[in-house]
């Protein structure tokens, strides 16, 4: 982690090869994506219900539980009834990488408002046990409301600071969807077009370094950790994964995905990261015409 971080998206020019496409996507309005709640309805049934109301839905070949539309779909009976969750397609990637299975013991360490928690519960078919942890009381209310609306009955909510989550029985899967500078959400939050501030990046990197270590220590041997953010800053992404690799018996499980993406960087601002870090993913707004993010999948080895 460096002492001086220049601000502004421009600092990523050298690591984003399709720079003009990136900038154009950052300036375009965002489409509306929704994830079908497969605990309650099949994708084609939901599609028929919404299309009957004049809401056309596009599909993603590689992710059949998501649809895309240009129309507002937040105020339908189907939404209130928990038949779907409004969530950008880029948010599906960390959960697909986690690959939680029915019957497993799973921890979502930074869970509110519950977009990924409810996706995990659906992939677990409501079987096994999912702990959704969120220390912020106000955000925890939103998490509880979403768990309830979606009917994620295998889920229980905890309220620790992630770095203090009690060590105990090993989890099969841990998701650390860390608090971050959120540059990848700039299409929803225009103030982020200027890039994150240097002090914010430094402060968040300190928290992320603690969260990834605790998340990893909560795994059983052979269990998987997914570390994800919605930001571009290598100080919050590759540097945090490198921090873990230097301190624990951890192995990166390289990710291969069926859509355009970039590999993680192995050097930034004069710092070199272990070469295995290249097995992590960077997703920019032009890749999925969605938000941006970073995803790493890591196994705990004996
Ligand atoms: C990126 S958001 C999580 C989004 C969520 N996974 C989803 O998909 O809906 C990060 C969350 O981490 C929480 N958080 C902040 N500091 C934390 C800490 N020390 N330990 C655990 N969670 C923390 C924030 O309150 C926020 O709700």
Over residues 125-179, the pLDDT tens digits come to 999 999 999 999 999 999 999 999 999 999 999 999 999 999 987 999 999 999 9
- Contact residues for 241 (Cβ-Cβ < 8 A; gap 6+): 212, 227, 252, 264, 273, 277, 280, 296, 298
The answer to whether the CB of 176 is under 6 A from ligand 1 is no
Distance 53 CA to ligand 1 centre (A): 35
Identify the bridge partners of residue 281 per DSSP, sorted by sequence position.
263, 295
Q: What is the pLDDT of residue 85?
A: 98
CATH class for the domain made up of 14-30+88-300: alpha beta
> What CA–CA distance (Å, rounded) separates 82 from 37?
7
Q: What is the pLDDT of residue 193?
A: 79
Q: Which atom of ligand 1 is nearest to the CA of 180?
A: 1
Residues of the chain with pLDDT under 70: 1-7
Distance 54 CA to ligand 1 centre (A): 36
Domain boundaries, given as residue ranges, for the chain: 14-30+88-300
Is residue 263 annotated as part of the catalytic site, yes or no?
no
Residue environment code for 54-84, b if the CB has 16+ CB neighbours within 10 A, otherwise e: ebebeebeebebbbbbeeebeeeebbeebbb
Three-class secondary structure of residue 131 per DSSP: strand
Tokens of 105: 């013991």
Q: What is the pLDDT of residue 7?
A: 54
Q: Whose CA is nearest to atom 1 of ligand 1?
A: 179
The answer to whether the CB of 161 is under 6 A from ligand 1 is yes
Distance 135 CA to ligand 1 centre (A): 8
Stated pTM of the model: 0.96
């Amino acid at each position: 982690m460096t002492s001086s971080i220049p601000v502004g998206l421009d600092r990523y020019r050298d690591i984003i090869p399709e720079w003009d496409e990136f900038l154009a996507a950052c300036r375009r309005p965002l489409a509306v994506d929704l994830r079908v709640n497969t605990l309650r309805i099949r994708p084609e049934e939901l599609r028929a219900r919404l299309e009957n109301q004049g809401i056309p839905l596009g599909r993603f070949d590689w992710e059949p539980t998501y649809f895309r539309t240009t129309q507002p779909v937040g105020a339908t009976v189907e939404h209130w009834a928990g038949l779907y969750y409004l969530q950008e397609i880029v948010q599906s990637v960390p959960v697909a990488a986690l690959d939680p299975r029915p019957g497993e013991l799973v921890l979502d360490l930074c869970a509110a408002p519950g977009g990924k928690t409810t996706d995990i519960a659906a992939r677990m078919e409501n079987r096994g046990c999912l702990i959704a942890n969120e220390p912020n009381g106000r955000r925890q209310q939103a998490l509880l409301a979403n768990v309830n609306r979606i009917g994620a009955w295998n889920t229980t909510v905890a309220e620790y600071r992630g770095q203090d989550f009690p060590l105990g029985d090993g989890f099969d899967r841990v998701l650390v969807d860390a608090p971050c500078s959120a540059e990848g959400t700039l299409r929803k939050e225009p103030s982020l077009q200027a890039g994150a501030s240097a002090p914010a990046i430094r402060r968040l990197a300190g928290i992320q370094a603690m969260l990834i270590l605790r998340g990893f220590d909560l795994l059983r041997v052979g269990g998987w950790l997914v570390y994800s953010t919605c930001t571009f800053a290598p100080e919050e992404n590759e540097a945090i994964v490198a921090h873990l690799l230097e301190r624990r018996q951890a192995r990166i499980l390289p990710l291969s995905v069926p859509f355009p993406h970039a590999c993680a960087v192995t050097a930034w601002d004069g710092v070199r990261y272990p070469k295995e870090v290249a097995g992590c993913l960077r997703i920019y707004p032009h890749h999925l015409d969605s938000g941006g993010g970073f995803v790493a999948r890591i196994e705990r080895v004996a």
